[in-house]
Structure 1
Amino acid sequence: MHKIRILHIIKSLGCGGAEMLLPETIKLHHQRFEFHVIYFLPWKNQMVETIEQAGGKVICFPASNNIKLLQQYPKVIEYCKSNKINLIHCHLPWSGFLGRIVHSNTKIPVIYTEHNIQERYHFATKLLNKLSFNSQSLALGVSGDVSQSILNNIKPKIPVQTLLNGVNTAHFKHDPKFNNEIRQSYNIPENSVVIGNIAVFREQKAIPDWLRAFKEILKNNPDVYGILVGAGPKEEEIKELVKNLNLEERLILTGLQTNTIAYFSAMDIFMMSSAFEGLPIALLEAMSSGCAIVSTRAGGVVEAIRDEKDGLLCEVGDWKCLALKCSLLIQDSGRRDNFQKAARERVIESFSLNTMVEKLEENYLKLANP
C-alpha cells in the first residue's frame, strides 16, 4: 500500500500541549499514513522518544533562535524531497512561517494549526502571520475563538476550519494505582484533597495567580495539598513566590514529567489560572482523567467547560474566585464527585481524539499530493 507521507513541523518537542498531542494522534492514524517530525530546539526534546514509540520518524535541525529556525528552510526542503513528503502540517507561528517558505518553493500542500488568538501575539509575529498567511493550503483553529480571531485579524483568502483539540479518553483516565503511588512518593495522606495543574511556566498560564489562590484555599482548608507539574521561563520566579508565600510544606513542584496520567490521577481538582488560551490540551486531559475543574474563562476554555455543569469558571485574573470555588468543592465531596464525573462525560461526548483524527485524515487525503 502506498503511504501518504505527512511531515509535522514544530519548534520544539518539550511538554507543551501541542507537542504532547502529536504522539497521541500518530497512534490513532490509519496505517496508510507515515509520519515525520522536524523540530529545532534540541534541549526541548522530552517528547522525541514517545513520538518514535508511536511510529513517527523524528529529526532535529538545531536553531538557537527564530531567525535561525527560518534559515533552516533549505534543509527542510531537501528533507521533503529525499523523503517524498506529500503534505506538511505546521504548528505554532514560527514553524508556520517556515512551512510557508517551503510551500512557496516546493508547492507541497501545507496545513497550519493555530493554537492561540492573534491578539495575544507580539506585533512582529502578528504582522508576519498576516503577510504570509495565504502562502499555505488550509488553516485550522483549535477552537471557535481561535478561528474567529484569524478571520477578524487576517481576513485570509485560504480556507479556515475549526478543529477542536481532542483527548484519548481510553488512555487518559483515572488510575487508582498511580494515585496511590504519587501520594505515597510525596507523603500526601490518602484522604487529603489534592489541587493540581500541569503547565508550561510562562506568562500565559498566570501561575502567580494560581499560587495566590492556593494560599487562600489553605487558610480555611488545612488538609489540602497542591501539585504543580511543569517548567519554563518563569520557573525561578515561581519558586521564589512559593517561598515568599510559605507554601513549601503543602505544594509540590515536580518539574517536567512525561507520565502525566499518574499526576492527573492524584488530583481531585484541576485548577487553571490562565490569562489566555486556545483550547488547552492539559484541561481536556484533566477532564478525561476525572478531575473536577475550576478555571478562568480563558479563550477556548468556555467551549469545553459549561459553568456549573461541567466545572466552575471565574473571570481571568480573579484568583479569589478560584480559591472560593475550589473551597466549595473541597468542603462538599458529593458535589466534587459530580463534577469529576461530569468533566469526563463532557470530554467523551464532545472532545474525542478519534473524531479529531478522522477530520484530520479527511483534510490530509483531500490535500496531499500522492
Structure 2
Amino acid sequence: MQKIKVLHIIKSLGRGGAEMLIPETIKFHDQSRFEFHVIYFLFWKDEMVNPIMEAGGKVSCFPSSNNIKLLQQFPKVINYCKEQRIDVIHCHLPWAGFLGRLVFFKTKIPTVYTEHNMQDRYHIITKTLNKFTYNLQSLALGVSDDVTKSINTFIKPKIPIETLLNGVNTNSFRRDPEAGRETRKKLSIPAGAIVFGNVAVFRFQKRLVEWLQEFKKIEEKNSSAYGIIVGFGPLEEEVATEVKRLNLEEKVSFPGLQTDVKPYFSAMDIFMMSSSFEGLPIALLEAMSMECAVVATDAGGIKEVIRNEEDGLICKVEEWTKLSVLCQVLINNPDKLSKFKKAARKRVVSNFSIRKMVDELEMIYEDLAAQPEGK
C-alpha cells in the first residue's frame, strides 16, 4: 500500500507547544501508512529539528528573516510538494497557514490548518488575513472548543471546522522523583521545599510578572516556597526587573530554554498558570501528566481541561489575584495537594493522550487524501 505523504508547515521549530507536537505525534503515527515531511523558515529556531528526524520525519528549512519573506517562499514549497508527491498539507500557526493557503490555491493539495489561538487575540493584520483567506483550505481544527467557537464567531468560514484537542505522551511524561531531587539540588532548592512552577514563552499573555506577584504573596507566608519558571522570550527583561523589585532572586530559578523539561516538572509540586488567554496549552498537559497539581486561571482551553475542585483549582482570568489564595489552600492541606497531583495525571491519561489525538489525525489525513482534487 502506498504511504500517505503529509507535509507539516510551521514558521519555526523552537520549543513552543505547536512545534513540540510535531515530533510527538510523528512518534505515534503508523509509519507503515504515513510518511512525514516538515518545512520551517526561522533557521535559528531549530530545537525540534533533531527530535523530528529521530522520530522518522524529514525536515527542510527555507530560510526567511520575516513574515513577508516567509510568504515569498511559496513557489519553493509548491516545488517541494510536487517533487515529494505530497498528499496532504498540515499547517500550524498563522503565517505558515497563510503560506499553506497560497499553496492550496495553486495546487489544490488537501490542506488542514490547526488553530491554536482565539481570533480576537490576534493582531489586526493577522485577523484580517485570516478572515479573507480562511476558506482557501480544506479543513480547520481548533485545539479547544473555545478556539473552534472563536473561528465560527469571528470568521464564519464555509469550510468544515472541527475540534481536535491537544494531547501529550503520557508514557513519556511520567514523574521521576530522583530526577526531581537532582533538579532541586542543582537549583539550590531545599529538599523539603514546596515548589511552584511554570513552563512558558515569556510573552505578555502568560502574565509572568503577575505570576511573580502572586508567588511573592505565597512566599511571604511560607518560607519553604520556591519557584521555577522554564523558558525564555521577549519579556525576559521585564520579568527579571520584577524579580529584583520583589527581592525574589534567591527564591525563583530561571533555567532558561530547555529541550527536556521533564526533570523540572518532576521538581514541581504545583503548576501555577496566570495566563490572560490560551488555546489549549501543551505545558499544562505535560505538567498534569507528571503529577503536578494545577492552580490556574480559566483562560481558553484551560477550563476544558481542569474541572474546578476535581482536577485542580481555577479562578476567572480577571481574578488572577486569587491564585495565591488557592495555592495556600493546597499548602495548608497536604492531603488535598496529593489528591490533585494524582487527579491531574488521571484526567490527562483518560482524555488528553497523544494516542487519542493521533488516531483522530490519521482519520483526517486519510479522508483528505481520498478527496477528489481541490475539494
TM bracket, shorter-chain basis: over 0.9
2:86 is aligned with 1:85? yes
Q: What is the deviation of 1:350? A: 1.1
Q: What is the deviation of 1:331? A: 2.2
Partner residue of 2:169? 168
Question: Which letter does structure 2 place at the counterpart of 1:22?
Answer: I
Partner residue of 1:293? 294
Partner residue of 1:239? 240
Contact 1:164 1:351 in 2 (8 A): yes
2:71 is aligned with 1:70? yes
Q: What is the deviation of 1:369? A: 5.6
Partner residue of 2:21? 21
Match of 1:59, SS state, is strand
Contact 1:108 1:369 in 2 (8 A): no
CA distance in 2, matches of 1:38, 1:330: 46
Q: TM-score, normalised by structure 1?
A: 0.98
Partner residue of 1:256? 257
Partner residue of 2:340? 339
Contact 1:86 1:369 in 2 (8 A): no
Contact 1:42 1:60 in 2 (8 A): yes
Matches within 5 A, 1:1-370: 1-31=1-31, 32-368=33-369
CA distance in 1, matches of 2:94, 2:57: 22
Runs of 4+ off more than 6 Å: none
Q: TM-score, normalised by structure 2?
A: 0.97
CA distance in 1, matches of 2:320, 2:129: 35
**Per-residue CA distance 1:290-343 (angstroms, 9 max, x = gap):** 000000010110000011110001121434211111122122211100000111
CA distance in 2, matches of 1:306, 1:221: 27
CA distance in 1, matches of 2:144, 2:185: 38
Question: Which letter does structure 2 place at the counterpart of 1:36?
Answer: H
Contact 1:294 1:326 in 2 (8 A): yes
Match of 1:242, SS state, is helix
CA distance in 1, matches of 2:351, 2:36: 26
Match of 2:96, SS state, is helix
Question: Which letter does structure 1 place at the counterpart of 2:9?
Answer: I
**Per-residue CA distance 1:240-297 (angstroms, 9 max, x = gap):** 1111111100000010001111111110000001100011110011111100000001
Q: Structure 1 residues 165, 284: CA separation in 2 closer, same or farther (over 3 Å shift)?
A: same
CA distance in 1, matches of 2:320, 2:139: 38
State, as a whole percentage, how many aligned pairs show the same letter: 61
CA distance in 1, matches of 2:318, 2:12: 29
